[in-house]
Amino acid sequence: MNWRPAKGVTGPDPERSMSYFGKQYHAPGTAPGTLVPHAAADAPLVIHLMDYTETEVEEVVLRSAADCVPYLDRDSRTWIQVNGQVNPETLRQLGELFDLHDLALEDVLNTGQRPKMEVYDEQLFLTLAMPVHRHGQLQTVQISLFVGPGYLIGFCPLDQDLFEPVRKRMRKPNNRRFASRGIDYLLYALIDLVIDEGYPVLEAFGEQLERLEQEVLARPSHRTLTEIHGLKRELLLLRRMLWPQRELVNELLHTEEGLIQADTQVYLRDCHDHTVQIIELLESFRDMASSMVDIYLSSVSHRTNETMRVLTMIATIFIPLTFIVGIYGMNFEHPSSPWAMPELGWYYGYPMVWGMMILVTSGLVWFFRRRGWL
Amino acid sequence: MNWRPAKGVTGPDPERSMSYFGKQYHAPGTAPGTLVPHAAADAPLVIHLMDYTETEVEEVVLRSAADCVPYLDRDSRTWIQVNGQVNPETLRQLGELFDLHDLALEDVLNTGQRPKMEVYDEQLFLTLAMPVHRHGQLQTVQISLFVGPGYLIGFCPLDQDLFEPVRKRMRKPNNRRFASRGIDYLLYALIDLVIDEGYPVLEAFGEQLERLEQEVLARPSHRTLTEIHGLKRELLLLRRMLWPQRELVNELLHTEEGLIQADTQVYLRDCHDHTVQIIELLESFRDMASSMVDIYLSSVSHRTNETMRVLTMIATIFIPLTFIVGIYGMNFEHPSSPWAMPELGWYYGYPMVWGMMILVTSGLVWFFRRRGWL
Amino acid sequence: MNWRPAKGVTGPDPERSMSYFGKQYHAPGTAPGTLVPHAAADAPLVIHLMDYTETEVEEVVLRSAADCVPYLDRDSRTWIQVNGQVNPETLRQLGELFDLHDLALEDVLNTGQRPKMEVYDEQLFLTLAMPVHRHGQLQTVQISLFVGPGYLIGFCPLDQDLFEPVRKRMRKPNNRRFASRGIDYLLYALIDLVIDEGYPVLEAFGEQLERLEQEVLARPSHRTLTEIHGLKRELLLLRRMLWPQRELVNELLHTEEGLIQADTQVYLRDCHDHTVQIIELLESFRDMASSMVDIYLSSVSHRTNETMRVLTMIATIFIPLTFIVGIYGMNFEHPSSPWAMPELGWYYGYPMVWGMMILVTSGLVWFFRRRGWL
Amino acid sequence: MNWRPAKGVTGPDPERSMSYFGKQYHAPGTAPGTLVPHAAADAPLVIHLMDYTETEVEEVVLRSAADCVPYLDRDSRTWIQVNGQVNPETLRQLGELFDLHDLALEDVLNTGQRPKMEVYDEQLFLTLAMPVHRHGQLQTVQISLFVGPGYLIGFCPLDQDLFEPVRKRMRKPNNRRFASRGIDYLLYALIDLVIDEGYPVLEAFGEQLERLEQEVLARPSHRTLTEIHGLKRELLLLRRMLWPQRELVNELLHTEEGLIQADTQVYLRDCHDHTVQIIELLESFRDMASSMVDIYLSSVSHRTNETMRVLTMIATIFIPLTFIVGIYGMNFEHPSSPWAMPELGWYYGYPMVWGMMILVTSGLVWFFRRRGWL
Amino acid sequence: MNWRPAKGVTGPDPERSMSYFGKQYHAPGTAPGTLVPHAAADAPLVIHLMDYTETEVEEVVLRSAADCVPYLDRDSRTWIQVNGQVNPETLRQLGELFDLHDLALEDVLNTGQRPKMEVYDEQLFLTLAMPVHRHGQLQTVQISLFVGPGYLIGFCPLDQDLFEPVRKRMRKPNNRRFASRGIDYLLYALIDLVIDEGYPVLEAFGEQLERLEQEVLARPSHRTLTEIHGLKRELLLLRRMLWPQRELVNELLHTEEGLIQADTQVYLRDCHDHTVQIIELLESFRDMASSMVDIYLSSVSHRTNETMRVLTMIATIFIPLTFIVGIYGMNFEHPSSPWAMPELGWYYGYPMVWGMMILVTSGLVWFFRRRGWL
């Protein structure tokens, strides 16, 4: 798969999967709605249009945003998907055509937004965070969606069409689901895809967590701890994105605008359920990761203790013995004074010393065993 | 008892009682309501039908889901219980007969759902998580229930009839409770059974906790910590299932649909009370488990400290003594120089050295006692 | 005082004051309202009846529950107090006489209930948890109360009349408080007694906490930690009982039934205040207990550190000295080679070695002082 | 200043500034509203009356509570302040004169109350906790206030007039603030004083915290930890008093009684703001104190580590050297066997041994440096 | 840039960026609204007036607050910005001209306020906290704003015009945004600037956090911990300011006064979103900082463990060897007794001893490897 993250995407740093501060912003005091192009775009701009009625589906790749005009007046639903690094001109064109609010356009450009929903008259603006976990890296990609009567405009800063699975379902000739329902069902389908991407990510986390747990219980190393920390970090950053997403879906469910039909609400409730489950999984993963740090710390203490015990035993046995043999190494003039170590001259003096040493050792070993140190 | 967990059940892994990520899901972007059969079913499908009126109870094992049709038009209450690994065809048949929502059917198939309640017109759909603690393993089994006017359809992925106790009560000839009440009383009876299964599980946890507490206070080992960690893990995973179950019962209590009669509400309130108590027990168990980790860590530190003190005392007493005996082991030409250790030649030189060593030792022991290290 | 806990009481285990899982329950799937007698009753059943009007107070000990009938039709307030291990027959008799709900009766028998309030038509059912702290043990006793128009039925599984202080106040001839008010004032008086029993318990905890604090700061031992853990455990279990009790009083305050008169509400508000204060005390005790564990851990680390420093100093001073004296213990043939330790033959050789050793020691002591280790 | 805490005050113990359980209570089961005098009063009772109209201010010290009668019928606002240890008789007199509720009077006597507000018909009863930080001790003093139309009765168990600053402002001839407003403005002025006393207390805490922080970072000792623990304890106990005080002011703001005029509400909102800020300061202080405990623990570990490294280095260098010199101290009969340490007889044998020792030492030092231990 | 913090600013201490207690307050009991000048002002007072209509923008620097009178009656919007240390006289003048509440004026003078909004009739009073992160120091500056129909008065205690970027936008001839909208848009622009200043501050924190993370994982030192603690402290203090700011913006959004037009609400919602995102970033930074302390502690333990292992290995190998060579250093009279170390006289005695030592060493090394200590 051809995966090249665009420049405007959160955390494109190859070493770190997600940076702590992943927000793009204008200098404080800049006028709201200012559209400044970001650094040279890596991901070329592709504008994909999908126009469908109850009977037909038409797909076009547009040269410029203005080319979508002919599709707008028709009594059909139109989905314009802008993939890649969007330029300010395209945004301005779309803004004028669909009467998009300048603050919303600014948010499309400044990725790293907190997922949120904004209602402008009869238009909805949503930013979503899609977690992706590939090549050992976790990234969140900002998906921006404008929904109005009969149209949906999506933005994705990657040069890849993440919504291909939805498109595939729409193209199926006998699929009446999209055809017979309003644009809100398309909105649901996209949100559902974005949210469900959380499952494989969390499954990967779950597996990593289980591997780390076995490691931390069996043979913990400093690397294990570093990895747990990295996991906690990724969970934390992901959580920062997913909590507001949950609120967003909830808000969408309770929005009073006529945009979401009762029929689609059932589907959105299912979506909401998924966000809740994903967050609960996340929180329980965080809890377990913290518990593993405790296990790790205890393991290190435990090993220090084990090492200490060995040292203590060896030292405690041999230091007294060394003292004893040291005594008989003293150069007192044994023959001249009867007080000066007469044992040195005894016939059984040497075995006696050994006996003494064996006695001392046995005594210490017995003492250690009784105290539970051996 | 013949207990063989089916494939679709959460955490059938023989080594780990519950995996961190215990959810079955379709690839993101799959159309909602897609029914894909899971891996080869271990638990054969058994469809049990129980039809009862005020006067009679009839029990049948159905060959296929379609066989339930004759019982539907009658003025009776019908309980269809589908045990074992359900196949998509059966689901589709039931879906058409009872007009079940495709999202609900998908949830029946994809076990590991978060317990939830969904209201479809005059139909209720509930998924419950039944904790079971056998053979030293904790599992949660997803029970899915559809309730409509006069019928209840239950799904359980095990090849065992978990609701046998309810059936037994229904069969009792003079039991007017089920007979005289609506299908909502049956719903209560099943929910009550599922929730009350939490009590033996928690009782087992409580006993394990008390055993671990005694162990951690008396003779903590690394194994104790591992076991506490495992307990925390199981409590956490269980909690993830039981919190939404509490919400579910609460929602059911406050549902405005005419399905739950005032009479049954009293019983459901009792159910709600049990969920609350179970969760409070769980939370307090979690608290105590965390406190035990502290005790363990402190014990390890304490033992390290004890070991250190022994080492220090032995070393501190014998190292100076070894130094003293080392001195008199030096080969200075004592006779030739009056400065070169004349003690070696003294009559009482050797006892004097012993006296010095006893003095040093006593001094150190006194010092240690005063500092509280002995 | 004659204190013998009955069998059905939470935590009658002589070793442990409160067990983690202190709930009695029927096997899951048992029909609701089943009344199964528990193990042989230690506390004999005593039914005490108190009937009072504005002018008179009558007290009787009933032979059986049915004997209360003559008092029911009179225009008086009747308090039936059932002390000791209640048997199913008595419960059934009372249930029929006063039309008590079978779920409530089950809760009376299965002690260890979470404190709760249930409203049945014009009847209130309450279960309370009364903390008692005697003989160094903390126990919670379940008090069950039924309140209806003109009557109050209380159950206490102990063979002791805990409500004697209330009875005493009622017997006072000029006490118009109970006489002039409804049964709700009696209810208040009982609840107030149950809640205020928390104060002496918490006072005892507070004193224990202060003693432990002094111990942990002055001379912490492993026993201190064990005691702190025990305290935390008791606080946790107590908290599990007192939180729902607070909710209960609050619910009672806001109950819309006509049972509680405005006059009595002022008193119940005072009760509510006490529950809140008791819980706040509990929570702050828990906080301080946790903080003490930190102090303990730090003390252990500190002492390890102190021990280490002593060992290090002794070893660092004497090991080099022992090396020096070891050198001159070597058996090189000093006279034959001028390179082989000529100091051994020098006139001031031995004092010179001592000088060297004093120098080394002073240097190390100076170094230690500068580094702050001495 | 003449500061003598009265007996009924929370925590007058000279050693501990605040005890964990600082509540005075009657034995459980005592009739509500019982007024029992506490231990002999240290602080003599002084009843101060201040009567003011738009034009005049009159101040009297009353002999007994009954002496306030002449001031009550006048069309003026009357402030009766009872300082010192109040006796039950005075309370009863005031209770009858102003129709005060017996539960409220009990709360005046039993100090250590949780701050709360109680509305009795057209009367307000408030208990406040005033934190005072003098002579290195923190105390909370219970201030009880009754407010009715045209009168305010205050109780303070100290023999000192804490409200002197307010009195001073009232006495100012051109101060129209109190004169032109109702009794609610006086209530505000007293509450404001009580709350603002929190600022100097917290400022002192802030300074202590900064001093402790510098200590813990630069030269942590066990005393530092003890002091941090003491600070945490005081913060916790203070917090227990200030949280309900915040609720109280909020309740007062939203009370529907006509007692608080719109004009005074602005001032009370300012008060509320102060309570919120004080609590936020408190919470952040608690957070930082916890963080400092971590720093302390890490410092102790760090120092242990440093000590260990010194010991290890010394031991690792000298133990092998001592072994080497030990070899040449063996008494093998070197001349008789060519295998028995011929070096001893070599001309350069001794320097060679030194060379070997220098080599070993250099090797170990190099190894240590490479591993980062030196 | 000419940055000199004024005296009244929170935390101007050069060593510490923010003090724990950064609030200026009057002595408790002082009359509300008392305006006392603070210590000699470092930042000279500059009053800047900006008057704009749909067609014109006029800028003046006022000599005294009274000079603004001519601009007030005109049908224009007037922005008076008071920079530098404001004196009580100026406040009183403005207070009389615009009918400002005395409590609000007191809050302008006593900086270190908790951000809050107060509604006085048709006037809004806001205090904001602007975080600034320059020269390695974090400071919060209190911005006070009064907004009424057609005017906005701002106060900033610095001698620097922080709102220059807004002024620049207003001066642009073709900028119709400010011209065509009410004073509420100006209010939005200022709040937006204050809030967005949080982004560069948090970005700097994020970078510091990443640097510290790398340090703590690669080569943790005590300085790393000190820095993490400092970071936690700054985050905590910042959080204390930003939480109420979030509430403030939310309150402003839901204020019912006619001051904020629907058009501006969209912009304020964007502001609210930013405060929420900033706080979420802050909280996640705090979480990660805490996690890093764990890593640090574990690293120290780990290193202690490593050091211990080296010591243990060296000691365990050489202490037995030293004992062995000590034996043969004893002065037993080998020739006279056959029991006294006959090895000393053997031809291969010495090599045999070496063999024994090699054996012992190999055995210990093998044992260590098997136990995983080498």
Give tens-digit pLDDT for E101-121: 989 999 998 888 899 999 888
- Alpha-carbon span A88 to A35, nearest angstrom: 6
Give the closest residue to E200 by CA, choosing from A30, A238, A8, A38.
A30
Q: Does B213 touch chain A (CB under 8 A)?
A: no
Provide, as residue numbers in chain C, all residues whose Cβ is less than 8 Å from the Cβ of B291. 229, 232-233, 293
Is residue C12 predicted with pLDDT exceeding 50? no
Do A305 and A294 sit in the same domain of this protein?
no
pLDDT range class, residue A16, cuts 50, 70, 90: very low
Q: What is the mean pLDDT of residues E22-38?
A: 79
Do D63 and D173 sit in the same domain of this protein?
yes
Q: How far is C111 from chain B (nearest CA, A)?
A: 13
Residue A185 lies in a domain: yes
Is residue A134 predicted with pLDDT exceeding 80? no
Distance of CA C180 to CAs A98, A300, C58, C153, C184, Å?
76, 71, 16, 20, 11
| Torsion sign (Cα): C21, C22, C27, C29 | negative
Amino acid B39: pLDDT: 57
| Torsion sign (Cα): B143, B146, B151, B155 | negative
Q: What is the mean pLDDT of residues C179-190?
A: 89
- Alpha-carbon span C374 to C366, nearest angstrom: 9
- Alpha-carbon span A330 to C328, nearest angstrom: 12
Is residue C38 predicted with pLDDT exceeding 70? no
Q: Where are the beta strands (DSSP E) in E135-170?
A: 137-148, 151-156
Amino acid A27: pLDDT: 82
Higher pLDDT, A165 or C38: A165
Q: Which of residues C266, C298, C330 is at a domain's end?
A: C298
Contact yes or no for D202 and E28 at CB 8 A: no
Is residue A299 predicted with pLDDT exceeding 80? yes
Q: What is the mean pLDDT of residues A349-372?
A: 87
The token pair that represents A227 in the structure block: 């990895």
Give the closest residue to B257 by CA, choosing from B122, B116, B99, B100.
B122
Residue D10 lies in a domain: no
pLDDT range class, residue C11, cuts 50, 70, 90: very low
Contact B111, B9 (CB under 8 A): yes
- Alpha-carbon span E17 to D210, nearest angstrom: 12
Higher pLDDT, A263 or B117: B117
Is residue D341 predicted with pLDDT exceeding 80? no
**In 10 A of CB B73, how many CB atoms?**
8
Domain interval for residue B356: 301-370
Q: What is the mean pLDDT of residues C313-334?
A: 85
Lowest-confidence region among A294-298, A344-348, C236-240, E45-49: A344-348
Give the closest residue to E72 by CA, choosing from E149, E20, E160.
E149
CATH number where D186 lies: 3.30.460.20
Q: Does A357 touch chain E (CB under 8 A)?
A: no
Q: What are the two backbone dihedrals, phi and then psi, of residue D120, each rounded to the nearest 5 degrees?
A: -115, 115
Provide, as residue numbers in chain B, all residues whose Cβ is less than 8 Å from the Cβ of A267. 32, 103
Smallest CA–CA distance from A277 into chain B, residue:
B114
Order of all β-strands in the sheet with A123-134: A57-62, A46-52, A77-83, A151-156, A137-148, A123-134, A116-120
Provide, as residue numbers in chain E, all residues whose Cβ is less than 8 Å from the Cβ of A301. 301
pLDDT tens by residue, C185-205: 999 999 999 999 999 899 989
Do B249 and B340 sit in the same domain of this protein?
no
Q: How far is B256 from chain A (nearest CA, A)?
A: 18
Amino acid C235: pLDDT: 92
pLDDT tens by residue, C82-107: 998 888 889 999 999 999 998 999 99
For tokens 């300061």, the residue is D281
CA dihedral C304, C307, C308, C313 (to 10 degrees): 160
Contact B26, B110 (CB under 8 A): yes
Residue C36 lies in a domain: no
Provide, as residue numbers in chain D, all residues whose Cβ is less than 8 Å from the Cβ of E320. none
Do B167 and B249 sit in the same domain of this protein?
yes
- Alpha-carbon span E187 to A101, nearest angstrom: 20
pLDDT tens by residue, E259-284: 788 888 889 999 999 999 999 999 99
CB interface of A with B, residues 153-172, below 8 Å = 163-166, 168-169
Order of all β-strands in the sheet with B116-120: B57-62, B46-52, B77-83, B151-156, B137-148, B123-134, B116-120
Q: How many domains does chain B have?
A: 2
Q: How far is B315 from chain C (nearest CA, A)?
A: 7
Indicate the residue of D175, D203, D340 with minimum beta-carbon distance to E350: D340
Order of all β-strands in the sheet with C151-156: C57-62, C46-52, C77-83, C151-156, C137-148, C123-134, C116-120
Q: What is the mean pLDDT of residues A58-83?
A: 89
Q: Does B196 touch chain C (CB under 8 A)?
A: yes
Amino acid E25: pLDDT: 81
Q: Does C341 touch chain D (CB under 8 A)?
A: yes
DSSP state for residue C43 in the 8-state scheme: S
Residue C128 lies in a domain: yes
Q: Which of residues D251, D276, D298 is at a domain's end?
A: D298
H or E element, residue D153: strand D151-156
Contact yes or no for A298 and B293 at CB 8 A: yes
CB interface of A with B, residues 215-274, below 8 Å = 217, 266-267, 269-270, 273
Provide the β-strand partners of residue C130: C141
Substitution target in E169, E201, E294 with the highest count of A β-carbons within 10 Å is: E294
Q: How far is D289 from chain E (nearest CA, A)?
A: 10
Q: Left if phi > 0, otherwise alpha if psi is -120 to 50, otherwise beta: which for A121?
A: left
Do E186 and E333 sit in the same domain of this protein?
no
Rounded mean pLDDT of chain A?
84
Q: Which of residues A280, A298, A316 is at a domain's end?
A: A298
Do B333 and B272 sit in the same domain of this protein?
no
Q: Left if phi > 0, otherwise alpha if psi is -120 to 50, otherwise beta: which for A21?
A: beta
Contact yes or no for D310 and C312 at CB 8 A: yes
User: What secondary structure does DSSP assign to D217-232, as a single string?
Assistant: HHS--HHHHHHHHHHH
Do B249 and B310 sit in the same domain of this protein?
no
Q: How far is C10 from chain D (nearest CA, A)?
A: 22
Indicate the residue of A21, A301, A341 with minimum beta-carbon distance to E281: A21
- Alpha-carbon span B346 to A336, nearest angstrom: 9
Q: What are the two backbone dihedrals, phi and then psi, of residue C16, each rounded to the nearest 5 degrees?
A: -100, 130
Do C291 and C316 sit in the same domain of this protein?
no
- Alpha-carbon span A37 to A87, nearest angstrom: 6
Chain D / chain E CB contacts < 8 angstroms: 178
Alpha helices in chain C (DSSP H): 69-72, 88-98, 102-109, 164-171, 176-180, 183-196, 198-218, 222-254, 262-327, 349-371
In terms of residues, how long is chain C?
Answer: 374
Provide, as residue numbers in chain E, all residues whose Cβ is less than 8 Å from the Cβ of D281. 20-21, 23, 240
Rounded mean pLDDT of chain E?
84
pLDDT tens by residue, E12-21: 333 444 577 7
Amino acid A374: pLDDT: 59
- Residue ranges of chain B with per-residue pLDDT less than 50: 1-17
Amino acid B329: pLDDT: 86
Indicate the residue of A165, A284, A308 with minimum beta-carbon distance to B304: A308
Buried b (16+ CB within 10 A) or exposed e, A296-322: bbbbbbbbbbbbbbbbbbbbbbbbbbb
Contact C296, C225 (CB under 8 A): yes
Residue D294 lies in a domain: yes
Q: Does D179 touch chain E (CB under 8 A)?
A: no
- Alpha-carbon span D37 to B56, nearest angstrom: 73
Residue C40 lies in a domain: no
pLDDT range class, residue C13, cuts 50, 70, 90: very low
Supply the angle between the helices E164-171 and E183-196 in degrees, to the nearest 10.
Answer: 140
Q: Does A339 touch chain B (CB under 8 A)?
A: yes
Lowest-confidence region among A46-55, C167-176, D60-69, D93-102: C167-176
Is residue D368 predicted with pLDDT exceeding 50? yes
Chain A / chain E CB contacts < 8 angstroms: 178
CATH number where D354 lies: 1.20.58.340
Do C160 and C307 sit in the same domain of this protein?
no
Amino acid B374: pLDDT: 59
Q: What is the mean pLDDT of residues A193-211?
A: 91
ipTM (interface predicted TM): 0.81
Supply the angle between the helices A262-327 and A349-371 in degrees, to the nearest 10.
Answer: 160
Rounded mean pLDDT of chain D?
84
Give the closest residue to C142 by CA, choosing from C334, C9, C262, C293.
C9
Residue E315 lies in a domain: yes
Do E266 and E227 sit in the same domain of this protein?
yes
Smallest CA–CA distance from B32 into chain A, residue:
A267
- Alpha-carbon span B10 to B25, nearest angstrom: 12
Is residue A361 predicted with pLDDT exceeding 60? yes
Contact B184, B229 (CB under 8 A): no
Q: Does C32 touch chain B (CB under 8 A)?
A: yes
Indicate the residue of C273, C302, C327 with minimum beta-carbon distance to D300: C302
Assessment of whether the complete model's pTM goes beyond 0.80: yes
Is residue D80 predicted with pLDDT exceeding 90? yes
Q: How far is A62 from chain B (nearest CA, A)?
A: 25
Provide, as residue numbers in chain D, all residues whose Cβ is less than 8 Å from the Cβ of C302. 222, 300
Q: What are the two backbone dihedrals, phi and then psi, of residue E62, each rounded to the nearest 5 degrees?
A: -85, 145
Is residue E7 predicted with pLDDT exceeding 60? no
Q: Does A319 touch chain B (CB under 8 A)?
A: yes
Provide, as residue numbers in chain B, all residues whose Cβ is less than 8 Å from the Cβ of A200. 28
Lowest-confidence region among A268-272, D132-136, E124-128: D132-136
Chains in contact with A via at least 3 Cβ–Cβ pairs below 8 Å: B, E
Do C82 and C189 sit in the same domain of this protein?
yes
Q: Does C281 touch chain D (CB under 8 A)?
A: yes
Do A199 and A286 sit in the same domain of this protein?
yes
The token pair that represents D9 in the structure block: 């005050």
Q: Where are the beta strands (DSSP E) in chain A?
A: 46-52, 57-62, 77-83, 116-120, 123-134, 137-148, 151-156
Q: Does C286 touch chain B (CB under 8 A)?
A: no
CB interface of A with E, residues 95-154, below 8 Å = 101, 103, 113-114, 116, 118, 120
Residue B32 lies in a domain: no
Amino acid C327: pLDDT: 87
The token pair that represents D341 in the structure block: 């340490």
E234 contact partners, CB below 8 Å, separation of at least 6: E17, E18, E138, E205
Amino acid D2: pLDDT: 35
pLDDT > 90 in chain C, percent: 36
